[in-house]
A and B are shown apart, each in its own frame.
Chain A
Amino acid sequence: MITLATFFVFLLAGLPIIFLPILASISFAFERDAVVLFETFLVQSVKGIEATGFLAIPLYMLVGEIMNRGGITERLMRTSFRIVGGFRGGLAYVNVLTNAFAAAILGSATAQIAIMTRSVVPEMERHGYDKRFATGLTVATGLLGPIIPPSMLMIIYGVLAYQSVAALFIAGILPGLLVTLFFFVTVGLSRKQLPAVETPTETASTGSSVVLDALPVVIPATIIAGVVSGVMTPTEAGAIACVVALLLSVFIYRSLRWADYVPVVKNVILASASVVALIGFATLLGWVLAYEGVPRLLAEALSSTAVGPICFLFLVCAVVVLLGMFLDGIGVLIVIVPILLPLAQVFGIDPIHFGVVLAVATLTGLVSPPVGPGLYIAMDATGLSLMQVFRGAFPFLVAFVTALCVIILFPDLSSWLPGILGL
């Protein structure tokens, strides 16, 4: 109880999120008189990141950073505009489709929201869209990042649950497309928010420009082909994707110079440090909780309440969404996967399907107050208040949660594709 109170007080007081698991671990060890654990705290944090799968994280971040330097957003927007730009509210559809394409390259929701709110929102505003609607839509569509492969959350789940990251990547494709479809429908239903007349964006459509703009799709194609064929592990696919991204940026787009080298790598270091260090510290918290038998208590409570696999999954989602409102998504995964995966297997739930459900459920926390880092990133980029961004995102969040319910009710959405590909 003291730990919980300490956690919430310091969270709301503004202690950096990355240090919250350390504080909670120290507080919990004090509360339970387990100070003997202190000496191995740093060791446990380092051990938490020593999994080969986590090597993929900086690699995929590097791919995203290299492509971002090459103006990938504009290229993907132009490609999307050629596909869906002709409809009323074309830019809103372009936003959804661009985010779906970018998701296949960036793999991180926060990175995607940060990039897209700075590039797509001003463009939509210029064409007469309400700023709150444009920002809310961009924040919500950024959630596609960790569902459509490659995905940081799937990598982390795969490592924690000892599941094939390749299978998880492929399992995310259909749910990702489903969420995209739900976003399209929500845009279609938001007719009041769409400007009546939209000035068409200048889009050069010579054959070579169409090919050049669509070329970044080679990167996810390389990753998926590599892991599905079994030729490469996801980490190795990440390394090859880095080479492809470099070749594209240096020789074809000519957008990367030597002078960009240190800034690019520095951005990757900072971004991956905030993810990987959080993994380490959250592992520490998970370890302290496990030492005191908390997982067993939670597991017993959940198993006595749930009456079947579907009910269990809905309960898990409720817990994850609740935790996600206060804890970073990665922290949530690290703390609950070791607790809930064995129970999920008792209920006969496919671990791959469970991973997809957890990843999608975890994402709702990213755009839910008070923590919701996605909201804060959008606030920073657009100057809107927390509640303005949240209100703008709300209809799309409803669509997202509806898609989550569909994924829970139809497990084949996540397990069919890996099954037919023999993963």
Chain B
Amino acid sequence: MQNLRPSMEASVPDQEVKSNPLLLLITWLWVGVPLLWGIEETIKKAMALFS
């Protein structure tokens, strides 16, 4: 077990690098758009249940 410790501790980069808000937006869109499309398709299909 003890030999796990060195691999779990990693070096810390010194410089502070603020994440780009645009990158945050793009990454959430990357996963959010396909998911919303899938939900929309599913709901459209589910409407047959109540029509």
Note whether A and B form a binding pair: no
Residues of A whose CB lies within 8 Å of any CB of B are: none
B: which residues have CB within 8 A of A? none
